[in-house]
Amino acid sequence: MAVLWLLLIVGLPTFLLGVFIWAVVKHFLTAEIPSSLQNPVKLRCMHCLALFTMALGNILQKLKICSMPSFIMFIHDSLAIKKDSTLVVTNMHFGTIPVRLFQPKAVSSNLRRGIIFYHGGGAFFGSVDLYHNLCSFLVQETDSVLLSVGYRKLPDYHHPVIIKDCLNATILFLKALETYGVDPSRVVLCGESIGGWAAASINQILVSTPSVPRIRAQVLITPILQAINFLLPSHQQNKNIPFLTKDLMIKYLCKYLAIDLSWRDSMLTGAVIPLEKWKKYRKWLSSDNIPRKFWSQDTQSEFLGHFNEAAYLETKHIFDTEISPLITDDETIAQLPEALLVSCEYDILRDDTLLYKKRLEDQGVPVTWHHVFDGFHGCLLLFDRKFLSFPCSLKVANIVVSYIMSI
């Protein structure tokens, strides 16, 4: 027994050190850290830790101890949650959907604005716990009532579960606004990353749902808005920048949409796009819509790969407007509420926001756009993490607060 304990005491740290060294090597071989990004060393260290944690999760999954997403969620949900004495925080369920309600304790003589928040995490990670501090910050700074939706995720749930959960929670909340002290004329849908995609899709669905109050505004923070064109300038320029690389993005997307990863290259090269569909959607999806100031010297114009019919048949649901809200019809776009769009320069999804900005503006929808030149995907989550925070993190949080305060 003593020998076994000795092996464990010596072997476990050695094993963990080996995994960490692998993560560091992988980071330096694959990751790109822009020289103009503030605090590049901090970002390198954090990316190494992220790779280390994911590697441990994959090992535990192969050993059938727990799934990798479950391990990651265990780690990030163990982060400290700030308790604020000025807020009332209530955990509830809307049917089977867990939600968290944030309300100011102070009594208000008027109904407050409402925020419905959908968290990010690529359908793998993220939770109401991980985004708790951000939601508390939004409520404190804007004196609003906020509902954070805890939708179901991978590996057990695939599309369209996120949309269904978020939509059902949204409709139930909208039908009971005055119960929570919310002004029906001042409700904002807000989401980050895949949560931004949920917010965009739900806004489009609610256009044809007259039985609920009309949404006042949509706040989309570094959202993914289409799963069709992966040849945009930002996909070329930012494919290896943490924390959302091209490999992670396509892996998350395929897993959630139940697409076999063997079709990965066909999707990335545009070989799944039939010519007639490209002719139809090019006016909305083409790189030609991206201002030239966002093109680098190495950026190449789209050149779709040779059409692969088998790949198209396996992936054709990417043309559904629920999955790619950027390609919905003009009539629907024109009825959408005003929008705040936040993009980050060092984000592989940057150009999705730029394309949606043009779509909204072309149909007369008022758009407030903020581009964070030193920002990267996921920076918002770090806004209050002390030494882990970046200047761009607080910048994005303050942009959202200022916009919501203006409503």
Tell me the C-alpha distance between 144 and 354, whole Å.
29
- In what side-by-side order are the strands of the sheet with 87-94? 87-94, 97-104, 145-149, 112-118, 182-192, 217-221, 338-346, 367-376
Q: What are the helix and strand counts (H, E) for the chain? A: 14, 8
From 127, 144, 193, 287, the catalytic residue: 193
Per the CB < 8 A criterion, the answer to whether 154 and 255 are in contact is yes
From 165, 347, 351, 352, the catalytic residue: 347
Residue with tokens 């799963």: 227
Tell me the C-alpha distance between 95 and 172, whole Å.
10
Task: Specify whether 347 is catalytic.
Answer: yes
Measure the CA dihedral 375/229/150/343, to 10°.
Answer: 20
Tell me the C-alpha distance between 94 and 92, whole Å.
7
Tell me the C-alpha distance between 346 and 352, whole Å.
13
Task: Specify whether 159 is catalytic.
Answer: no
From 47, 119, 235, 377, the catalytic residue: 377
- For 185, the 3-state DSSP assignment is strand
Considering only CA atoms, which of 115, 71, 38 is closest in space to residue 382? Answer: 38
Give the list of residues 6+ apart from residue 187 with CB closer than 8 angstroms, or none.
113, 114, 115, 116, 174, 177, 213, 215, 216
| CB atoms near residue 211 (< 10 Å) | 8
Residue with tokens 């009539």: 331
Tell me the C-alpha distance between 403 and 24, whole Å.
39
Task: Specify whether 185 is catalytic.
Answer: no
Give the CA count within 13 Å in the CB-facing half-sphere of 139.
27
Considering only CA atoms, which of 204, 202, 163 is closest in space to residue 334? Answer: 204
Residue with tokens 């464990």: 8
- Which residues are annotated as catalytic? 193, 347, 377
